[in-house]
Amino acid sequence: MPIEYDIIMDKQLVLAKGSGVITGIEVIRHLDALALDDRYKAPMKKLVDYRTIDSISITSEEAYLIARKKKKLARIFTGERCAFVAPGELTYDSSRVHQALLYGSGLNTEVFRRIEDALKWLDVTLDMNHE
């Protein structure tokens, strides 16, 4: 599965890691799964780690669908702070588009090239097992 996640309860953190090729459908499936996860208790912090993906394949139409889906689920994700770690140009640019599409929605999203900067913004520390 291209996007797997774990919830680290004591840090109120969702740690989502991408692998392989990330598609719009995979992102929507991830959001649906997370919204149904009983462990998700808002407000949470979320780290989306794209450091190890092969590529990202999300069309403009899919980008809008993802943003609409996240806005639709905003009541579940209320107060969430979401940090994307996207060191590659394509993943960084795609994540920035997502950030722009969510602007003004109350869903706090930032994009970083380095995991250290994302963790600092989230005010979270991770041990080597999670990083």
pTM exceeding the 0.85 threshold for the entire prediction: yes
CB 91 within 8 A of CB 56: yes
**Residue 98 is encoded by which pair of tokens?**
């997502």
Q: Does residue 127 form part of some domain?
A: no
Q: Does residue 116 form part of some domain?
A: yes
Q: Does residue 72 form part of some domain?
A: yes
Q: Which domain holds residue 39?
A: 3-122
Q: Does residue 128 form part of some domain?
A: no
80-92: per-residue pLDDT in tens?
A: 999 999 999 989 9
Question: What pLDDT does 1 receive?
Answer: 60
In angstroms and rounded to an integer, the radius of gyration of the C-alpha atoms of the chain is: 13
CATH number of the domain encompassing residue 42:
3.30.750.24
Number of folded domains that form the chain: 1
59-102: per-residue pLDDT in tens?
A: 999 999 999 999 999 899 999 999 999 999 989 999 999 999 98
Q: Does residue 10 form part of some domain?
A: yes
